Structure 1
Amino acid sequence: MTQDRFTPLGFNARRQTSGWLAPVMWLAGLVATIVALAVGAVLAVFTAAAVAVIAVVASVLVFFAGLAMSARRKMTVRARRGDDVIEARKVGDTWVTYGWERPGH
């Protein structure tokens, strides 16, 4: 007679507690389930709060990076204007510029 090795698997194979211990075990399982659900809910709230904080920090970082890039563009334009500004006047149909030559050239 051969015995099937998968016979002890499944819901029918679990031990059935009987007597006065059955309600105690059921109540312990219920309490464990409630505690697991509560811990899972708390962890979900902490995870959502962490994601929200990361999103706020990232948006502030992008905002300040935008301000820095804008200030950099404005400063480079001002610096460039200071070096390249020349005086130009229209004489007749042509423009005449002064200060085009750099010193030392």
Structure 2
Amino acid sequence: MTNDRFAPIGHQGRRPQGLLAPLMWLGGMIATAVALTVGAVLAVFTAAAVAFIALFAGVLVFFAGLAMRARGTVSVKAQRDGDVIEARKVGNTWVTYGWERPGR
């Protein structure tokens, strides 16, 4: 029995001996390289997806801004056009028809 208090936790320190040791070391290195490659590919796909979402969110906000600006322009124009329904020039003056003052 050892006096090391961490000895019962995890790996006990037994390493393979003989011809099996280099093969296990090589297998561990290959598994590590494959795991790093898969992680790097997934990181690239994740970054591309985030960039794609950010691009389309920016386009959506741009078109929403254009729509809001167009809506404001149309509503202001509609308010101005609603005051006079019809106007004709009679002589040197303009005569309007269908216009009523509020409160009359």
Structure 2 length-normalised TM: 0.74
In structure 1, C-alpha distance between the alignment counterparts of 2:8 and 2:15, rounded to whole Å: 14
Who is 1:83 aligned against? 82
What's the counterpart of residue 7 of structure 1? 7
Q: Distance in 1 between matches of 2:16 and 2:4?
A: 25
Q: CA deviation at 1:5?
A: 7.8
Counterpart in 2 of 1:59? 58
- The residue number in structure 2 matching 1:90 is none
**What's the offset of the Cα at 1:101?**
1.9
Q: Indicate the residue corresponding to 2:32 in structure 1.
A: 33
Q: Using the TM superposition, give the Cα deviation of residue 4 of structure 1 relative to its aligned residue in structure 2, in angstroms.
A: 8.3
- Any gaps of 5 or more consecutive residues in structure 2? 88-95
Unaligned 5+ runs, structure 1: 88-97
Give the % identical residues. 60
Provide the rounded CA distance (Å) in 2 between the counterparts of 1:5 and 1:48: 44
CA RMSD of aligned residues (A): 2.7
Q: How many residues align?
A: 91
Whether 1:42 and 2:36 are equivalent positions in the alignment is no
Name 1:19's counterpart in structure 2: 18
Corresponding letter in the other structure for 1:38 = T
Instruction: Name the counterpart of 1:70.
Output: 69
Counterpart in 1 of 2:93? none
Residues 56-75 of structure 1: CA deviation (Å, up to 9, x unaligned): 00000000000100110010
Q: Secondary structure at the match of 2:8?
A: coil
Distance 1:84 1:14 in 2: 92
